[in-house]
Structure 1
Amino acid sequence: MIKEYFFESKQALQAQLEQDLLAQVDLALASAGKASLLLSGGSTPGPVYEALGKVLDPRVQVALVDDRWVALDHKGSNEALLRNCFPAQQVIGMKTPDAKPQAAVAAVNQAYQQLHQPFAITVLGMGPDGHTASLFPNAEGLDAALAETAPNCVAITAKQSAVTGELVDRMTLSLNGILNSKKLILLITGDDKLAVYQQAKTVNNISDMPVAAVLQQQQVDLDVYWAK
């Protein structure tokens, strides 16, 4: 089920996101004594992560929804964002020394087995091309990432575009990995992305707009947060 929340400002969205993430984590901790939080990169949730890092229970593990295949000192590294916000012992990253993400799939999936599952909550973003996580339109590896038998984490090589830039090699949660969560949150900002989101709710060709796979599934509740 999709629930939509429209906010008057990005600041209002961020305040609600922080509150809701903490509430969902508290529920998981009360139930199991531990929890995993799966987070996406981006400027919108960044301030929320900084605030969470100061108060998050040490029993909570934080991991990535996806990452570019770059070193930690690269400005495109999502892992670097999380490590700047949370204690190092709470963060599980995706990047390995392997030259390509395809060579690291087994190792990354093994690392993610350390996370309490199902994940307490997974925070997703969406691009103007209809991608979410690093599930890019018609990317190499997309079909495998959407397959029912996919592991939590898969390698993707996107088609280079204005959205991807030159960094087309990615590690990402598969659709199965995304749905391995008690709740999903999708963050959207701007009228252009709102239009893409509305289109994706009914589009037939998932490969052209992979976020549709998340929007059209019935397994996990999805809260959509939008702000201009």
Structure 2
Amino acid sequence: MINEHFFETREALLAQLQSDMQAQIDAVLAAEGAASLLLSGGSTPGPVYESLGQALDQRVQVALVDDRWVDVGHKGSNEALLKRCFPNHAVTGMKTADEKPQAATQEVNARYAELKQPFALTLLGMGPDGHTASLFPYAEGLDAAMGEAAPTCCAITATQSEVTGPLVDRMTLSLPAIINSKKLVLLITGEDKLAVYQQAKTATDHKATPVAAVLQQARVDVDVYWAK
């Protein structure tokens, strides 16, 4: 089921999202004593991450939903963003010394096997092309990453576009891993992405609009947060 949370301003959205994320983390910690938080990159959730990172319980494991295949010092690194926002936590990253992500899947999956599962909360974004995480339309590796037997992390090579830029090699949570979460959040802003989201709710070609597979699955509710 999809639960929509629409706001007049981005400030109101981020304030409510932070509160809701903290409440979910606290609830899982109280019930289970540990929790894992899977986060996407991007500038929009940055203020939420910074606020959460100031007092996040040490029992919470922080990890990436996906990342570009670049070193942490690169401006496109999602791992770098999370390390800045969560300086007191050992962020579980995806990048290895391998030249291509396809050579690193075994090592990255071993890292992610150390995370508490199901994940307490997974926060996704969405692109104007209908991708989420690094599940890009018709990308090399997409079929495997969206398959029922997919491992937690999969290598993806997207077709270069205005959305991807030149950094087409990625590592991403697979579709089964994304929905292996107690709470699943999709964060979007702007009228253009709202239109993509509305279409994705009923899209039948999930390879063309991968976010549709997340929205239409029945395993876990999706909480959609949107503002102009």
**Normalising by the residue count of structure 1, what TM-score does the alignment of the two structures yield?**
0.99
What is the distance in 2 between the residues matched to 1:83 and 1:55?
Answer: 14
Shift of 1:87: 2.7
Shift of 1:31: 1.2
SS at match of 1:91: coil
* Structure 1 residue 195 corresponds to structure 2 residue 201: no
* Structure 1 residue 227 corresponds to structure 2 residue 191: no
* Identity of matched residues, %: 71
Matched residue count: 228
- Structure 1 segment 1-228 matched on structure 2, within 5 A: 1-87=1-87, 89-228=89-228
Shift of 1:32: 1.0
Stretches of structure 1 that go unaligned for 5 or more consecutive residues are none
Shift of 1:90: 3.1
What is the distance in 1 between the residues matched to 2:156 and 2:140?
Answer: 6
Shift of 1:103: 0.5
Higher alpha-carbon deviation: 8-17 or 163-172: 8-17
What is the distance in 2 between the residues matched to 1:92 and 1:35?
Answer: 13
What is the distance in 2 between the residues matched to 1:15 and 1:94?
Answer: 29
Q: Which amino acid counterpart does residue 45 of structure 1 have in structure 2?
A: P
Contact kept in structure 1, 2:62 and 2:89, CA below 8 Å: no
Shift of 1:88: 5.2
What is the distance in 1 between the residues matched to 2:9 and 2:218?
Answer: 29
Contact kept in structure 2, 1:60 and 1:90, CA below 8 Å: no
Q: Which runs of 4+ in 1 moved over 4 A?
A: none
SS at match of 1:163: coil
Shift of 1:55: 1.1
SS at match of 1:136: coil
Q: Which amino acid counterpart does residue 134 of structure 2 have in structure 1?
A: S
